[in-house]
């Protein structure tokens, strides 16, 4: 049987009942084949309607515990310390260090291991076994938090547990978006699920609840359900600070503003999204306290808060000046500097400019403040010709003698330490700058000639001088 037609003829020659029995057993026993079968049906024919089971708390709890035990035991059998080096095949032609090989092998092994569990999850979801797949996910999340995985050299990741938690998070997101969010659960089903999951977390590892946030978003759709969820969390002493995103959602859904404020204040400013919401509340309801609160959050989330705070600060306030100078520095924006300059002294502006790492923007501010002495001091502290090229033009007419001396000394230092083409190129660049100092052009030409006529002869130096138009 070499051709497709020969294979089809053989398959069709087998009794239909026997063929159906074989294929059914194959589908039941191989979930990967079953997934392919379901996907094939979805493309070529209407998917048969699945009858969803009713929620059974006892069965659900048993399924969670079973998944927890199986996944935890399987994780703890993994050995990422001693990887199978015979699996390594590398054809790039360049040397690969042993530690990198060990990491690649460990990660490949981890992904292969998880793939079997991934197939089981997706098969249950595609077959409409929603309670089973949710129970399995919960048990696996808790196990991934608890398992003692042998990876002493961090071959899989900085944390092998986090590696598997990330894979689970991806599958949870897919299953919720593709399946769970499209289902309508009754209040009894939703509350039963939430109750079982939270009790399970209390008995095992409360940390895993935060991973289930997308699932709870789908389950908690009504204010009554949110109140029920809140009561569960409070009754089992699950701290809001451990699950800020979920707490925010549930309390907001429940409509309990007082509790939301207590929760947000307790978490502030650690969680960024919640910090912004609390600041927005202060801005609209407690404006007198807004900037004091914003100052705390700004110290923690400076970059992210930029767009939120931009139009909300009082002109000339301490935070206003701090914000706009940071904005000016981070964006090299003179217009932003002008915003803060209206409320600070020249001396404060110069002092702030000294903290700027960007030489070009630093020079622009000092030029704006006509701080020529500060620019001269800055010039003396710089050693690369690129930086001198930025600073010198601003003060060459004010301090021609000093600028000439700086160029002369820098050239000598480079010549003494870097007698090569790179060094010669730097010297040529400095001398080009020097020729722009009109008061010192004669001295500069003499200095250039002195280097050009150096004995012994330096052909590479002469080449760089000619390339830069000095000769």
d(CA 311, CA 317): 13
The domain segmentation of the chain, as residue ranges, is 4-44, 57-84+97-301, 382-471
Judged against a pLDDT cut of 60, whether residue 47 lies above it is answered with no
pLDDT attached to residue 236: 85
pTM above 0.75, yes or no: no
pLDDT exceeds cutoff 60 at 435: yes
Beta bridge partners of 79: 150
Range scoring the smallest mean pLDDT among 154-168, 194-208, 268-282, 303-317? 194-208
CA nearest neighbour of 153 among 114, 97, 93: 97
How far apart CA 172 and CA 318 sit, in angstroms, is 45
Q: Where residue 6 falls among pLDDT bands split at 50, 70, 90?
A: low
**Burial label, 302 (beta-carbon count in 10 A; 0-12, 13-18, 19+):** middle
d(C-alpha 81, C-alpha 153), whole Å = 7
> For residues 390 and 364, what is the distance between their CA atoms, to the nearest angstrom?
10
How far is residue 379's CA from residue 405's CA, in Å, rounded to a whole number? 11
pLDDT recorded at residue 78: 93
- Run of H or E residues at 239: none
456 cis-preceded (ω within 30 degrees of 0):
yes
Q: Report phi then psi at 390, rounded to 5.
A: -80, -40
**pLDDT for position 169:** 97
Residues 6+ apart with CB under 8 A from 26: 33
pLDDT digits (tens, 9 = 90+) for 347-378: 999 999 988 989 999 999 999 999 999 999 98
Report yes or no: 382 and 388 within 8 Å, Cβ to Cβ: yes
The set of residues, in sequence order, having a beta carbon less than 8 Å from that of 442 and lying 6+ positions away, is: none
Assign 204 a pLDDT band (cuts: 50, 70, 90): confident
Distance CA 195, CA 198 (A): 5
Half-sphere exposure of 216 (CA within 13 A, CB side): 28
What count of residues does the chain have? 471
In the structure encoding, which two tokens stand for residue 437, read together?
């100092």
DSSP state, 315? T
pLDDT tens per residue, range 327-352? 999 999 999 999 999 999 999 999 99
**Mean pLDDT over residues 60-84, rounded?**
92
Q: What's the CA gap between 103 and 123, in Å, rounded?
A: 30
CB 308 within 8 A of CB 298: no
Lowest mean pLDDT among 24-33, 53-62, 282-291, 298-307: 24-33
pLDDT value of residue 177: 96
Q: What is the mean pLDDT of the chain?
A: 88
Q: How many CB atoms lie within 10 A of CB 249?
A: 17
Question: Is residue 259 scored above 70 in pLDDT?
Answer: yes
| Per-residue model confidence (pLDDT) at position 86 | 61
The more confidently predicted of residues 342 and 29 is 342
Report, as an integer, the average pLDDT of 286-303.
96
The per-residue pLDDT for 262 is: 95
- For residue 69, the model assigns a pLDDT of 97
pLDDT band at 229 (very low <50, low <70, confident <90, very high): very high
Give CA–CA dist 203/146, Å, rounded: 12
In this prediction, residue 46 carries a pLDDT of 54
pLDDT bin (cut points 50, 70, 90) of residue 90 is low
Summarize the confidence of residues 54-83 as an average pLDDT.
93
pLDDT over 70 for what percent of the chain? Answer: 85
My answer on whether omega of the bond before 348 falls inside 30° of 0, hence cis, is no
Binned at pLDDT 50, 70 and 90, residue 1 comes out as: low
Q: What is the pLDDT of residue 101?
A: 76
Both tokens of 279, joined, read: 């600041």
Cα separation, 96 vs 239, whole angstroms: 47
The answer to whether 254 and 230 have CB atoms below 8 angstroms apart is yes
């Amino acid at each position: 049987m070499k051709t497709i037609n020969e294979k089809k003829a053989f398959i069709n020659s087998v009794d239909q009942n026997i063929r159906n029995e074989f294929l059914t057993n194959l589908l039941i026993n191989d979930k990967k084949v079953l997934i392919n079968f379901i996907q094939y049906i979805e493309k070529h024919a209407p998917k048969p309607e699945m009858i969803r089971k009713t929620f059974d708390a006892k069965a659900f709890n048993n399924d969670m515990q079973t998944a927890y035990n199986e996944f935890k035991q399987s994780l703890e059998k993994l050995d990422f310390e001693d990887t199978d080096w015979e699996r390594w095949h590398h054809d790039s032609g360049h040397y690969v260090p042993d530690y990198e090989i060990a990491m690649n092998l460990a990660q490949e092994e981890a992904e292969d291991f998880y793939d079997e569990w991934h197939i089981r999850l997706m098969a249950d979801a595609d077959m409409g076994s929603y309670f089973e797949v949710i129970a399995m996910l919960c048990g696996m999340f808790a196990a991934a938090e608890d398992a003692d995985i042998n990876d002493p050299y961090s071959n899989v990741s900085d944390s092998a547990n986090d590696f598997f938690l990330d894979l689970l998070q991806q599958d949870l997101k897919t299953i919720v978006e593709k399946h769970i969010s499209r289902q309508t659960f009754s209040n009894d089903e939703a509350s039963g699920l939430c109750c079982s999951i939270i009790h399970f977390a209390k008995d095992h590892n409360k940390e895993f609840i935060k991973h289930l946030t997308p699932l709870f978003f789908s389950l908690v759709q009504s204010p009554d359900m949110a109140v029920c969820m809140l009561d569960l969390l409070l009754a089992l002493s699950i701290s809001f600070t451990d699950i800020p995103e979920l707490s925010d959602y549930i309390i907001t859904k429940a409509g309990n503003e007082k509790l939301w404020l207590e929760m947000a204040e307790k978490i502030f400013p650690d969680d960024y999204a919640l910090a912004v919401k609390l600041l927005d509340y202060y801005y609209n309801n407690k404006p007198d306290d807004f900037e004091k609160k914003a100052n705390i959050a700004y110290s923690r989330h400076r970059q992210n808060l930029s767009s939120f705070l931009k139009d909300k600060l009082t002109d000339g306030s301490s935070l206003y000046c701090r914000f706009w100078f940071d904005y000016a520095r981070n964006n090299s924006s003179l217009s932003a500097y002008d915003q803060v300059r209206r409320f600070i002294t020249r001396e404060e502006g110069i002092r702030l400019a000294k903290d700027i790492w960007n030489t070009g923007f630093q020079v622009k501010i000092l030029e704006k403040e006509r701080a020529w002495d500060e620019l001269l001091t800055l010039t003396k502290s710089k050693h690369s010709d690129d930086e001198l090229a930025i600073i010198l033009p601003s003060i060459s007419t004010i301090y021609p003698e000093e600028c000439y001396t700086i160029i002369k000394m820098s050239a000598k230092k480079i010549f003494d330490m870097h007698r090569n083409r790179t060094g010669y190129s730097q010297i040529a660049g400095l001398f080009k700058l020097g020729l722009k100092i009109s008061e010192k052009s004669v001295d500069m030409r003499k200095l250039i000639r002195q280097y050009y006529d150096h004995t012994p002869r330096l052909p590479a130096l002469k080449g760089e001088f000619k390339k830069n138009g000095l000769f």
